[in-house]
Amino acid sequence: MAKRLTKMKIKGAGDRVQVLVLANHPMETGTRKDKKTGELIPAHFIQKMIFEHNGKVVAEANLSQGVSKNPLIGIEIAGAKSGDTVKVSWSDNKGESGGAESTVK
C-alpha cells in the first residue's frame, strides 16, 4: 500500500472557520481502460471522510467513483476557537486510509 498524503488548511477566525482537505488519491472509477494493455483499471476510491472538532465528529462525507482524482473537500465549522484541534480521516474501498490533524490559529 502506498502512503497517501493528506493536506489540511484551516482559514478564518472568530466563530467560523473553513477547513479544506486535499487527499492525494487516484479515485479510479473502475470503468477506465489502461492505454497500454486495454484492460480495465480496477475501482479505487475514497468511500468515507470524517471531520472532527476537538474529538467530536462534526461532518461525514460519503464519496464515490464520481469524484475527481486528488479531491479537495471543504467544510465550515461553527464555534471553533484558536487552539482547537481539527482532524480528518478517510478510508477507501481497498482498505487504505489517511488523514491529517491541525490546530486552529
Q: What is the pLDDT of residues 29-51, one digit of tens each?
A: 999 999 999 999 999 999 999 99
* 6-33+40-103 topology per CATH: Immunoglobulin-like (2.60.40)
Asked whether residue 104 carries a pLDDT value surpassing 90, the answer given is: yes
State residue 46's pLDDT score: 98
Q: pTM of whole model > 0.85?
A: yes
**Residue type at position 95:** G
State residue 14's pLDDT score: 75
Asked if 25 contacts 71 with a C-beta cutoff of 8 angstroms, the reply is: yes
Handedness of CA 61, 64, 66, 69 (dihedral sign): positive
State residue 72's pLDDT score: 97
State residue 1's pLDDT score: 54
